[in-house]
Amino acid sequence: MNGQSAKSWDERYLATESMWSLEPNQFVLEALSELPVGSMIDLAGGEGRNALWFAKRGWQVENVEFSMVALDRFLAREQKLTLAKPVITNHADATSVVFGSEPDLTLIAYLQLPWNQLELALNNVLAQQKTGVMFGVWHSLLNLTKGFGGPPFAELLPSGSQLEAWALSKGLNFEVSDRTREVSTDSGVKTALDVTLLVRL
């Protein structure tokens, strides 16, 4: 994925104690916190900040991740919790993964891939999930020139129009939204520009 190997992602994770925030994404909470408990896939879930939030609320979670280092950290964090159901790990590429079971929810948080690869990942989800909700959040193409953080490469930043065109081509019931997110830095609060996709299957 993204022209990077699993080894390169392992090296990125090893370079820091925790690559991402330990808290779930704000847009994930806003869109999904009221869903009835079920099973969920966290696609490219990293160290599991979103998946573990769901697991603590009784969900059956499966973290699909390219990096074994990230999955090991996910499991280490899971062991410190008392969960109703054990978590599942799936060491796989997001564009071609085979899910362990059909989910009620698929979450795709900041899977920043070239569009042709991201489209493969989205199509792969649809091929395996027939009902429920799919929710994605990405650093937006708008963020490249007007926002803070995220990859500095346009090819890794989807636009709302790309996501909308894809969803329309599949005949989906969906919402695409441009969102702003505040990021605290040493030089003050910055604004990041994200885009979200909510699909009801």
The pLDDT score that the predictor gives to residue 9 is 60
Pairing of strands 173-185, 105-109: unpaired
pLDDT bracket for residue 22 (50, 70, 90): confident
| Distance from C-alpha of 75 to C-alpha of 2, rounded to nearest angstrom | 25
| Distance from C-alpha of 132 to C-alpha of 195, rounded to nearest angstrom | 21
Question: Would you say how long the chain is, in residues?
Answer: 201
Per-residue pLDDT reduced to its tens digit, 169-199: 999 999 999 999 999 999 999 999 999 999 9
> Please, where are the H alpha helices in 33-114?
49-55, 68-79
Is pLDDT of 17 > 70? no
Is pLDDT of 20 > 80? no
Is pLDDT of 84 > 50? yes
Amino acid at 185: T
| Domains of the chain, earliest start first | 38-109 (3.40.50.150), 135-201 (no CATH)
The pLDDT score that the predictor gives to residue 15 is 63
- Candidates 181, 110, 183, 192; CA nearest to 144 is 192
From the DSSP assignment, how many helices (H) and strands (E) are in the chain?
7, 7
Amino acid at 25: N
The pLDDT score that the predictor gives to residue 159 is 98
Pairing of strands 188-200, 133-139: antiparallel
Per-residue pLDDT reduced to its tens digit, 56-65: 999 999 999 9
Is pLDDT of 12 > 70? no
The pLDDT score that the predictor gives to residue 8 is 67
- Residue 128, classified by CB atoms within 10 Å of its CB into exposed (0-12), middle (13-18) or buried (19+), is middle
Provide long-range contacts, Cβ within 8 A and 24+ apart, for 160-169. 160/195, 162/115, 163/136, 163/195, 163/197, 166/119, 166/122, 167/197, 167/199
Per-residue pLDDT reduced to its tens digit, 88-142: 999 999 999 999 999 999 999 999 999 999 999 999 999 999 999 999 999 999 9
Amino acid at 34: E
The pLDDT score that the predictor gives to residue 103 is 98
DSSP assignment of 128-161 equals H--SSEEEEEEE-TTHHHHSSSS-S-GGG---HH
Stronger pLDDT, 88 or 20, i.e. the higher one: 88
| Distance from C-alpha of 115 to C-alpha of 161, rounded to nearest angstrom | 12
What token pair was written down for 190?
Answer: 């910055």
pLDDT bracket for residue 35 (50, 70, 90): very high
